[in-house]
């Protein structure tokens, strides 16, 4: 049986992110998009309230952070804990799956940060050759 352009049988359900109808594409987008990756990385450090998280993820708007958190919560990567206090308190933390994904993302983030000098040099070389034309 094929669903989402992916071959499936009763014992093995495979997904193919390269297929446009595969549901894993949406999850990949939530995880690797700018705000998703930064939010998951920030939450790796612990539990945060909304405004603490917004300060940690510098530059994200309230609306975008809210949308990002909703998407990550829906994907099962973030847990939202609303406490019935006055004023209401809402905490966000990674689920076990979210922590596993954040671990991998942080490896990539740290790698990119560690090689940024090379990237900047490559950009300068590229811009110099493009500007000379």
* 104 shares a domain with 119: yes
Enumerate residues 6+ apart whose C-beta is below 8 A from 52: none
* 100 shares a domain with 72: yes
What was the pLDDT predicted at 51? 94
What was the pLDDT predicted at 12? 54
Q: What is the mean pLDDT of residues 65-72?
A: 97
The CATH number assigned to the domain holding 41 equals 1.10.10.10
What was the pLDDT predicted at 7? 45
Compute the mean pLDDT over every residue in the chain, rounded to the nearest whole number: 90
Q: What is the mean pLDDT of residues 10-32?
A: 84
Enumerate residues 6+ apart whose C-beta is below 8 A from 84: none
Q: What is the mean pLDDT of residues 98-111?
A: 97
Domain range for 119 is 33-131
* 86 shares a domain with 46: yes
Give yes or no for a contact between 40 and 29, defined as CB atoms under 8 angstroms apart: no
Q: What is the mean pLDDT of residues 47-69?
A: 97
Distances from the Cα of 78 to the Cαs of 83, 116, 124, in angstroms? 16, 29, 38
Number of domains in the chain: 2
* 102 shares a domain with 47: yes
- 0.95 surpassed by pTM: no
* 53 shares a domain with 7: no
* 59 shares a domain with 15: no
* 60 shares a domain with 120: yes
* 38 shares a domain with 25: no
* 73 shares a domain with 41: yes
* 40 shares a domain with 10: no
What was the pLDDT predicted at 95? 98
* 42 shares a domain with 22: no
Split at pLDDT 50, 70, 90, the class of 88 is confident
* 54 shares a domain with 7: no
């Amino acid at each position: 049986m094929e669903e989402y352009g992916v071959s499936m049988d009763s014992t093995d359900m495979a997904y193919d992110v390269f297929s446009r109808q595969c549901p894993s594409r949406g999850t990949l987008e939530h995880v690797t998009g700018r705000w998703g990756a930064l939010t998951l990385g920030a939450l790796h450090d612990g539990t945060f309230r909304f405004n603490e998280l917004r300060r940690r993820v510098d530059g994200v708007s309230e609306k975008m952070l809210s949308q990002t958190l909703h998407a990550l919560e829906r994907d099962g990567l973030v847990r939202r804990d609303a406490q019935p206090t006055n004023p209401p308190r809402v905490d966000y933390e990674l689920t076990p799956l979210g922590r596993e994904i954040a671990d991998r993302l942080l490896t990539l983030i740290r790698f990119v940060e560690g090689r940024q000098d090379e990237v900047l040099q490559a950009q300068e070389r590229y811009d110099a050759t493009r500007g000379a034309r």
